[in-house]
Structure 1
Amino acid sequence: MRFTRSVALLAVPVLGLGLVAGCRDSRTQAAGGSDSASSNETVKIMVGGIDKVIYLPAKLTEQLGYFKKEGVNVQLLTEPAGAQAENVLISGDVQGVVGFYDHTVDLQAKGKCIESVAQLAKVPGEVEVVATAKAGQITSPKDFAGKKLGVTSPGSSTDFLTRYLATVNGVDPGAYSTVKAGAGQTFIAAIDNGGIDAGMTTDPTVAQLTSTGKAKVMIDMRTEEGTKAALGGLYPASSLYMDCAYVAAHKQTVQKVVNAFVRTMRWISAHSADEIAAKMPADYAAGNPQLYTQSVKDSMTMFTADGVMPADGPKTVLNVLKAFSPNVKPKADTIDLAKTYTTEFVSKAPKSADAS
């Protein structure tokens, strides 16, 4: 979408000019183990595509004023792909990422400790769409061989899920072409110009493609039923994840941020798609408010009501990753899922912080 590009461009000077201090905050403060200055600290959170409906809670929390009400200064930045968002967290340029939980498992296999502190979604919210002109040729992942498949970027969660769907359906991931298609207008353009035959994306891109007849839905992981059918269980996806050392050293700050997110999750569960869409920036609708509202409606059941990790969800994620991931597969038996997420902060979120 146009807005994704503009926000990303706006974020660049912030990253370029201010992240030296950000690196110092997330690394040296963590080493010092003190949270005494938490009230004055800015928490930079990178969102893996801030205008995607799957990550809607991040911007909605800001729009509702919950970060300010919790007394924490949060700066939201955006990066269209989760793999890049993950990288800026590892480098210490931001303190948190709103992205897919599966990155915490993948990173543990690489020797890094990253944990989800608030689980925003219990299913991916991802959809495998097929260009209408190719719909007769691609009816399931069994047909992926020889095709051009779009993902946001290599190493992203859409890449992970696409590789899994291919593998369990008897297609080697090397038998199809992985195309970096991004999201929003870049993904739509890839469908339009034949750059991809099919691909994995989210709302509002899905709504834009299907409403115009450019693509058809093949696999729908916006619902629990669709996710279980595709992946064998719930697949906790959108989350707020942070470096374990930062979390341990900044518990007061993390608690405030989590309180704000939990309050938003309760607000979402108590309001309609129309009410939710009305709170979001007008630019997110890309000139079609009705379509944007529909995309929110189609996806909103994916969200948790309280920020709590769904039972057995992490196990599903590990099962998916170890089926194809060269990083996770050889270390699957040593992965400690208990270190990839924590319920410490969501369990302490004030009950009085219900939707208001």
Structure 2
Amino acid sequence: MQFKSIIAAAAIALAAATGSAQAAPEKSKLTLGVGGKPLLYYLPLTIAEQKGYFKEQGLDVSINDFGGGSKALQALLGGSVEAVTGAYEHTIRMQQKGQDIQAVIELGRFPGIVLAVKKSHEGKVKTAADLKGMKIGVTAPGSSTNFFVNYLIAKAGGDPKASAFIGVGGGAGGVAAIEKGEIDAISHLDPVISKLQVDNSVFILADSRTEAGTKAIFGGSNPAAVLYLKGDFIKDNPQTVQALVNAFSKALKWLETAKPEDVVATVPEAYYLGDKPLYMQAVKNSMETYSKTGIIPQAGMESAYGMLAKFDDDLAKAKIDLSKTFTDRFVKAAR
């Protein structure tokens, strides 16, 4: 009887150990693309990297930083990266183009994008429609910062095609472009926006860094940065994807209780744009934007599609299956 009990206990222990063990990633070494890594929009990526969460999951992740989200997407389609931290909207636009791109975790629940206009235009520019004929800086044409201002112009009754969009990159290039008079307005993120505000170089026309601001612009939540990959890669490498999501999920959990001081102490000094107190303020401005669950709500997906359809007639006519743009199974397994 005692022998049977020992055998039973051993079997239970073995089953528990086997059930809790995660299979090794099919592809332990991979390259991840991002469009403007120092931007607070992508802070969960930097936290996962700096805290060693990728390595904890058995992953050797190389990060390729591009000038904007659209360029990171191009790298994914071209095969030079296996995964991208980028805007959720790209999964919708790619479905329209016949490309199976799927998000596997939400990193930002609010875009955090701000449309700011050069101070010299104050009084002249009252709505986004007034930007007609002006030069607008974005991280890169075709990126989420471009989509954001397109939507605002169309919502205000204007035509996005009547403005010129200039790629200024994800770093200090946007600040320099405003200061040199190369652009009239800018659709960008922190810490760039906070720097321009401190310098009193711009005034704010639309701000999606908070829940209230996002609701005022979109009427509700609007997903921002996500981790997305090709559908075939997800199918062929589920354990690799799970490992990536585990790392990002841990980064989001860390951010839930982190103080701005903790963030500042974790990121590279180069992110400060030469002004540590300013970066601290930018972090405070952005802490509300990060996802609490990693899951994109249905209303958020619909809001993102509605934003794109507002200024893209072809997309508005297309049959988009939003259920194919995001899967929550990896997030649920991680949490």
Partner of 1:317 in structure 2?
304
Indicate which of 172, 176, 179 corresponds to 2:166: 179
Partner of 2:58 in structure 1?
71
Alignment of 1:78-157 (within 5 A): 78-157=65-144
Partner of 1:346 in structure 2?
331
Once the two structures are superposed, residues 6-58 of structure 1 have per-residue CA deviations (whole angstroms, 9 ceiling, x without a partner) of xxxxxxxxxxxxxxxxxxxxxxxxxxxxxx97366212111111100110111
SS in 1 for 2:245: helix
Once the two structures are superposed, residues 206-228 of structure 1 have per-residue CA deviations (whole angstroms, 9 ceiling, x without a partner) of 11111111112221111111112
Partner of 1:240 in structure 2?
227
Once the two structures are superposed, residues 78-106 of structure 1 have per-residue CA deviations (whole angstroms, 9 ceiling, x without a partner) of 01201100000011111110110000000
SS in 1 for 2:311: coil
Is the 1:149–1:178 contact (alpha carbons within 8 Å) kept by the matching residues of 2?
A: yes
Name the amino acid aligned to 1:156.
S
Distance 2:24 2:259 in 1: 38
Partner of 1:337 in structure 2?
322
Alignment of 1:257-296 (within 5 A): 257-296=244-283
SS in 2 for 1:86: helix
Indicate which of 202, 210, 213 corresponds to 2:197: 210
**Displacement of 1:234:** 1.2
**Displacement of 1:161:** 1.4
Alignment gaps of 5+ in structure 1: 1-35, 352-356
Distance 1:103 1:324 in 2: 15
Partner of 2:239 in structure 1?
252
**Displacement of 1:115:** 0.7
Distance 2:155 2:114 in 1: 17
Is the 1:61–1:67 contact (alpha carbons within 8 Å) kept by the matching residues of 2?
A: yes
Bigger Cα displacement from structure 2, 195-204 vs 133-142: 133-142
Moved over 3 A (4+): none
Distance 1:182 1:326 in 2: 27
**Displacement of 1:287:** 2.4
Is the 1:203–1:299 contact (alpha carbons within 8 Å) kept by the matching residues of 2?
A: yes
Partner of 1:223 in structure 2?
210
**Displacement of 1:325:** 1.6
Once the two structures are superposed, residues 110-163 of structure 1 have per-residue CA deviations (whole angstroms, 9 ceiling, x without a partner) of 000101111001111100111111122112213122222222222111111111
* Matching of residue 195 in structure 1 with residue 182 in structure 2: yes
| Structure 1 residues 146 and 39, CA gap change in structure 2 (3 angstroms) | closer
Partner of 2:15 in structure 1?
none
How many residue pairs get matched?
313
Instruction: Give TM-score, length-normalised by structure 1.
Output: 0.85
Distance 1:215 1:184 in 2: 17
Distance 1:311 1:300 in 2: 23
Is the 2:26–2:237 contact (alpha carbons within 8 Å) kept by the matching residues of 1?
A: no
Bigger Cα displacement from structure 2, 180-189 vs 233-242: 180-189
Identical counterparts, % of pairs: 36
Distance 1:177 1:92 in 2: 30
SS in 2 for 1:304: coil
Partner of 1:354 in structure 2?
none
SS in 2 for 1:323: helix
SS in 2 for 1:309: coil
SS in 1 for 2:227: strand
Partner of 2:287 in structure 1?
300
Distance 2:109 2:24 in 1: 34
Partner of 2:47 in structure 1?
60
**Displacement of 1:327:** 4.2
Name the amino acid aligned to 1:72.
L
